[in-house]
Amino acid sequence: MDVQKYGPWALIVGGSEGVGAAFARMLAADGFKLVLLARKPGPLEELAAELRAGGAEVRTISANLADPAVLDQVREVTDDIEVGLLVYNAGANDTRGRFVELPEAVTNGVLQITVMGQANFTRHYGALMAKRGRGGIILGGSLSSYLGSPTLAAYTGAKAFSRIFSEALWGEMKPLGVDVLHLNIGFTATPAMARLGMPVDLAEPPETVAREGLENIANGPVWIVSTPGNLERARMINGVDNRAETVLAHAIVPRDQTAVAAAEQAELAKGASSRP
Domains identified in the chain and CATH numbers: 3-274 (3.40.50.720)
Residues of the chain with pLDDT under 70: 189-203, 255-276
Phi, psi (degrees; rounded to nearest 5) at 48: -60, -40
pLDDT of residue 223: 97
pLDDT of residue 187: 78
pLDDT of residue 249: 87
Distance CA 81, CA 61 (A): 15
pLDDT of residue 222: 97
pLDDT of residue 6: 98
Cβ contacts of 270 within 8 Å, gap of 6 or more: 228
pLDDT of residue 29: 98
pTM, two decimals, is 0.89
Strand order through the sheet with 9-13? 58-62, 33-38, 9-13, 83-88, 135-142, 178-185, 222-224
Cα–Cα–Cα angle for 48, 53, 55, rounded to 5 degrees = 95
pLDDT in tens, 222-271: 999 998 888 998 999 999 899 999 998 888 777 656 555 666 665 655 66
Distance CA 200, CA 119 (A): 31
The CA distances from residue 274 to 260, 263, 270, 271, in Å, are: 21, 17, 6, 5
Residue 14 contacts residue 38 (beta carbons within 8 Å): yes
Could you tell me how far CA 174 lies from the centroid of its own chain? 20
Phi, psi (degrees; rounded to nearest 5) at 221: -85, -20
pLDDT of residue 248: 86
Nearest Cα neighbor of 118 from 214, 192, 182 is 182
pLDDT of residue 73: 97
pLDDT of residue 258: 59
Side-chain half-sphere CA neighbours of 141 within 13 A? 33
Q: How many secondary structure helices (H) and strands (E) does the chain include?
A: 12, 7
Residue 135 contacts residue 187 (beta carbons within 8 Å): no
Cβ contacts of 55 within 8 Å, gap of 6 or more: 28
Q: Contacts for 41-47 with beta carbons within 8 Å, 24 or more apart? A: 43/16, 43/17, 44/15, 44/16, 46/16, 47/15, 47/16, 47/17, 47/21
Look up residue 1 and give its amino acid.
Answer: M
Residue 250 contacts residue 144 (beta carbons within 8 Å): no
What residues form DSSP beta bridges with 60?
36
Would you say the C-alpha torsion 9, 14, 17, 18 has a positive or negative sign?
Answer: negative
Burial of 240 (C-beta count, 10 Å sphere; 0-12/13-18/19+): exposed
